[in-house]
Structures are given as structure tokens and as C-alpha cells.
Amino acid sequence: MNLPTMDAAPLTDARPAPSPTLTADDVVASAEALIPALRERAAEVDRERRIPLETYRQLGDAGLFHVLKPKKYGGLELSEHEHARIAMALARGCASTAWVFSILSSDNMAILAYPEQVQDEIWGRNTYATLAGNTNLNPKAVAKRVPGGYRLTGQWGFCSGSDFSEWLIFNAPVGDEGEGHMFIVPHEDAETVDDWFPTGMRGTGSRSMAVHDVFVPDHRVQATKDTVQKLQERRSLHPTFDTMYATWPSHGRFPFASCAVGAAWGAAEHFAETVGSSTRVANALGGAVRLADQDYVATEFAQAQGDIAMAAHLVERRSHEASQRARARIAATEADTAREARDNALVTRTALRAVGQIFSLVGARAGSADHPVSRAKRDVEMVSHHVTLNWRQSSVRYLAAIA
């Protein structure tokens, strides 16, 4: 296939798993400790359209990719609550880094839907291995049945985190009826297509991945519709891992919305730190006024920062509730799930409005692509377009669930 490509660099070196004594507070604190370094690298991440290898390595060393991983493979068996808090913290420094964490951490749960043989293949020799890809069905992909498996050909876009993942997951039609099936393939069997040139979230590396006539054995293929059932069946493999009782796919960990709220939070922090020395042109004839002296700046910023704080509290509360349900082995009702879907969209909507308010206060300087508030605004705008964050759809679902 004549496709433009770029090199990817999955990590294949084996190293010991993070300390099993790490607590929820430990990993959240580690994420918060990374914020200054992530801020320093954020402009470069935006320009290069990928996070640096050093950042990816630091996320792993801090135990962040082990939050939603079973103890058998060196995991910490933590919860959706920690996942949401970590994503928000990382996004205060770099939303793209937070997104990569969130995707790759969440995809651990997809791996757990597969047989133990697959889990051993992925994590048995490399406890840090991650899975990226795209679980949306590509109707143009071809999965040809052969002895022992399938020959898979196709291309999937929006493969966030695939710059570093050792494994990829794709959704392709199978059989005469074209029923969606999930295929897991090694990264080296795929080709990276350099087609990720968005305005925001540029560093997520959400490029397309393509495979051509790649053999995928039966044990790494499952019908998409069976994912929830398979996850339930695999619970016996990891009986102490409460998050295997969470809803899938889960709004409770706020996988995308946390990145939006954290990015807006970071913009508010930057503004608060710099407003004392910031000025704007007074009028068309010149002169300057200090932003901190303007009443309209105080009122607009207070509103924006307060809204972001409320959004963050809602993420914390709902993710905690979802984690408590899983810990108690209580299945989510449709009302629970619909409320979480609504709140994912709501906090994103709130973050989008708030970061826009802050952007308007900065003035012409915010027109620079490297300005932290400009980058945060573009990032939140991009996140808000994710299909799971559609405000109208989630509102309709919520009303139907409670009516």
C-alpha cells in the first residue's frame, strides 16, 4: 500500500513492575509531580505532534499504566476514581499527555476481555506493555477466514497512543453479515500513517494504523458484541480486581472529559500566575492597562475558575461513586450510566466555556500557538468533539432514563 508513514517506537525492554505497595494517593501524587515537566514540554509536544519518549517512560515508571491492571501482571488494581484524578492532573500540564495516559490505561480493560493466553502474551514478559488502536468498526476492512484464524487487511484512524504501544486493537467485519470483531495484533505487524494534523490535542499521536494481510490467531479475535460478557467471564482470573465489575465501556472513569477539565484548570492556573504582570493595550491610541486592575477581568476570571472547580468536583464525585459500585459488586443501572454520560458531556461543556472566557482576557498574546491558554483552548475544543461527549445525545439519554 502506498501510504505516507512515520517511524513509531514501542518500548520492548523488560523492567520490574512498579512497587506493589504504591497506594492510590501515591500514584495521584506522582501524576501531580509531573505537571511542571509536562508544562515545559507542552509547546514541543504540540509542534512535534507526539509526546516524547521520556514522558511516556515517566508515566510508566510512576505506575500510571498499572492503575487499571491486575496484580497477576504487576498491576495495582486501583479504580476509576484514580484514573479520573490522574488524567485531570496530567492535563493541567499537557492535555495530550493526559489523553495518551487515559486511552492506554483504559485499554487495559479491553485486554482483560480476552482469554488468559492473550493476557499472558501481552503482559507476561512486559508488564508495561500497552494497547492502542480503534474499536470503531471499519466496514471496508477485510478479515479472511483461514485455518487457525484470519488474514486481516484495513486501515483505522484516531489510534491515540500508538506511537508507543506494543499492541493494537482493530474492529473489522466478519462473515456474511459483517458482524464486528475485535482483532489484537502486534505493533510491528502494522504501518503508521502520518495523517494527524489537527488544531488541538496534536500531541496524542492519533494517527491511522494500517495492516495488510496480517495473520491474527483465533484466540486474539472476539466478537465486539461479546465484550461485556467476556469481561464478566474473566473476573474469575482476577478475583480481587474490583474494577472488572465496572460498566464497560465506562463513563465512570471520565476518560475524555477529565482531559478537558484538566486542560481548562491548567489555563486558569497559568492566568492566575501571570495576571499580576500582564497588560493589554488601553485603546487604539496606545497606552497600557494592568489586567489585575480591571474589574471585568476579576469577574470573568472568577466565574471561569469557579466553573472549572465545580466541574472538577463533579468528576471526582461521580468517579468515586462508580468505583464504590464496582467495589460493592453492584451493577450500574441505566439511570446511573445515563447520568455519568450526561456529566461527562456537562463538565466538558463547562470547561469549553470557561477556557474561552480566560482566552478572551489574555488579549492578542493568546493568538500565539505556543501560548498556554491558546493551546488549552484548542485542546478543549478538540476534546469536546468526541462522540461520547455529545451534549444533546447524552441529554436525551438521561431524560429517557429518568422519565
Architecture of domain 24-128: Orthogonal Bundle (1.10)
Report the pLDDT value the prediction gives residue 7, as an integer from 0 to 100: 44
Q: How many CB atoms lie within 10 A of CB 240?
A: 9
Report the pLDDT value the prediction gives residue 323, as an integer from 0 to 100: 98
Return the biggest CA–CA distance within the chain: 78
CATH number of 131-227: 2.40.110.10
Report the pLDDT value the prediction gives residue 80, as an integer from 0 to 100: 97
HEC string for the chain: CCCCECCCCCCCCCCCCCCCCCCHHHHHHHHHHCHHHHHHHHHHHHHHCCCCHHHHHHHHHCCHHHCCCCHHHCCCCCCHHHHHHHHHHHHHHCHHHHHHHHHHHHHHHHHCCCCHHHHHHHHCCCCCCCEEEEEEECCCCEEEEECCEEEEEEEEEEECCCCCCCEEEEEEEECCCCEEEEEEEEHHHCEEECCCCCCCCHHHCCEEEEEEEEEEEHHHEEEHHHHHHHHHHHHHHCCCCHHHHCCCCCCCCCCCHHHHHHHHHHHHHHHHHHHHHCEEEEECCEEEEEHHHCHHHHHHHHHHHHHHHHHHHHHHHHHHHHHHHHHCCCCCCHHHHHHHHHHHHHHHHHHHHHHHHHHHHHCHHHHCCCCHHHHHHHHHHHHHCCHHHCHHHHHHHHHHHHC
Report the pLDDT value the prediction gives residue 75, as an integer from 0 to 100: 98
Report the pLDDT value the prediction gives residue 15, as an integer from 0 to 100: 87
Give the start-to-end residue ranges of the domains of the chain. 24-128, 131-227, 257-402
* Contact predicate 210/3, CB 8 Å: yes
Report the pLDDT value the prediction gives residue 363, as an integer from 0 to 100: 83
Report the pLDDT value the prediction gives residue 279, as an integer from 0 to 100: 79
| Alpha carbon distances (Å) from 194 to 76, 101, 142, 149, 379 | 34, 21, 22, 29, 20
Report the pLDDT value the prediction gives residue 286, as an integer from 0 to 100: 78
Sequence-distant (≥ 6) Cβ neighbours of residue 376 within 8 angstroms: 95, 263, 264, 266, 267, 270, 355
Sequence-distant (≥ 6) Cβ neighbours of residue 74 within 8 angstroms: 16, 17, 18, 20, 66, 123, 127
CATH class for the domain made up of 257-402: mainly alpha
Which amino acid, 87?
Answer: A
- Which residues of the chain have a pLDDT value below 50? 1-9
